[in-house]
Amino acid sequence: MAASARIESLIARMTVEEKVGQLGVFADMVRPFAPDVNPEANVRNADEVLAQVRAGRVGSLFNGVGAELGRRIQQVAVEESRLGIPVALAADVIHGMRTVFPIPLGEAASFEPALAERTARATAVEATAAGLHWTYAPAVDIARDQRWGRGAEGAGEDVVLGCAFAAARVRGFQGDDLTAHDALLATPKHFAAYGAVAAGMEYASVDIAPQTLRDVHLPPFQAAFAAGAISVMSAFNDINGVPASANRGLLTGILREEWGFDGVVISDYTADMELVAHGYAEDDRDATKKAFLAGLDLSMQSGFYAAHLPALVESGEVPMAALDEGVRRMLVLKERIGLLDDPYRSLDPEREADTGHLADHEALARDAARRSIVLLKNDDAVLPLKKREQRIALVGPFARDRENIEGCWTLFGDRSRYEPLEDGVRAALGEAAASLVVVPGCDLEAPVEGGIEAAVAAARDADVVVLALGEPQRYSGEAQSRIDIGLPPAQEALAEAVAATGTPVVVVLRNGRALALTGAVRDAQAILVTWYLGTRTGSAVADVLFGDYNPSARLPVSFPQATGQQPYFYNHPRTGRPELPTMSEFKARWREIPNEPLYPFGYGLSYTRFEYDAPRLGTTRLGWDDTLEIVTTVRNVGDVDGEEVVQLYIHDRVASRVRPVRELKAFEKVAIAAGGEVEVRFALHRDALAFTDADGVRRAEPGLFDLWVCANAKSGEPVSFELLASGVSAAP
* Binding interface with ligand BGC (CB under 6 A): 63, 92, 136, 189, 268-269, 478
The 10 Å Cβ neighbour count of residue 365 is 27
Nearer to ligand BGC, 107 or 348 (CB): 107
**CB of 330 within 8 A of CB of 264?**
yes
Residue by residue, DSSP assigns 160-225 as HHHHHHHHHHHHHHH-S-TTSTT--B---B-BTTGGG-GGG-TT--B---HHHIIIIISHHHHHHH
Angle between helices 320-336 and 304-314 (to 10 degrees): 140
Q: Least distance to ligand BGC from the beta carbon of 34, Å? A: 9
Nearer to ligand BGC, 62 or 475 (CB): 62
Q: What are the angstrom distances between the C-alpha of 626 and each of 465, 621, 707, 721?
A: 55, 10, 17, 13
In one letter, which amino acid is 682?
F
Nearer to ligand BGC, 98 or 189 (CB): 189
Angle between helices 67-75 and 46-54 (to 10 degrees): 40
Return the half-sphere exposure (C-beta side, CA atoms, 13 A cut-off) of residue 35: 9
* Catalytic residue of the set 141, 145, 268, 348: 268
The rounded distance, in Å, linking the Cα atoms of 441 and 397 is 7
Q: Least distance to ligand BGC from the beta carbon of 235, Å? A: 8
Q: Least distance to ligand BGC from the beta carbon of 62, Å? A: 6
**CB of 424 within 8 A of CB of 399?**
no
Q: Least distance to ligand BGC from the beta carbon of 401, Å? A: 25
Q: Is the peptide bond before 219 cis (omega within 30 degrees of 0)?
A: no
Q: Least distance to ligand BGC from the beta carbon of 92, Å? A: 5
The rounded distance, in Å, linking the Cα atoms of 426 and 505 is 18
Residue 672 contacts by C-beta under 8 Å, 6 or more apart in sequence?
Answer: 610, 634, 635, 636, 641, 642, 643, 644, 678
- In DSSP terms, 234 is beta-bridged to 191
Is 548 known to be catalytic? no
Nearer to ligand BGC, 189 or 536 (CB): 189
Q: Least distance to ligand BGC from the beta carbon of 480, Å? A: 12
Q: Least distance to ligand BGC from the beta carbon of 411, Å? A: 9
Phi/psi at 621 (5° precision) = -125, 95
Nearest to residue 490, comparing CAs of 447, 441, 439? 447
Nearer to ligand BGC, 136 or 292 (CB): 136
Q: How many residues are recorded in the chain?
A: 732
Q: Least distance to ligand BGC from the beta carbon of 612, Å? A: 40
Give ∠ CA 22-23-27 in degrees, rounded to 5.
95
Nearest to residue 298, comparing CAs of 232, 248, 204? 232
Nearer to ligand BGC, 78 or 233 (CB): 233
Q: Least distance to ligand BGC from the beta carbon of 37, Å? A: 6
Nearer to ligand BGC, 42 or 491 (CB): 42
Give ∠ CA 519-520-522 in degrees, rounded to 5.
70
In one letter, which amino acid is 687?
D
Nearer to ligand BGC, 268 or 543 (CB): 268
Nearer to ligand BGC, 64 or 326 (CB): 64
Return the half-sphere exposure (C-beta side, CA atoms, 13 A cut-off) of residue 325: 18
Q: Cβ-count burial of 722 within 10 angstroms (0-12 exposed, 13-18 middle, 19+ buried)?
A: middle
Q: Coil, strand, or helix at residue 26?
A: strand
Nearer to ligand BGC, 277 or 683 (CB): 277
Q: Least distance to ligand BGC from the beta carbon of 154, Å? A: 11
Residues involved in catalysis:
268
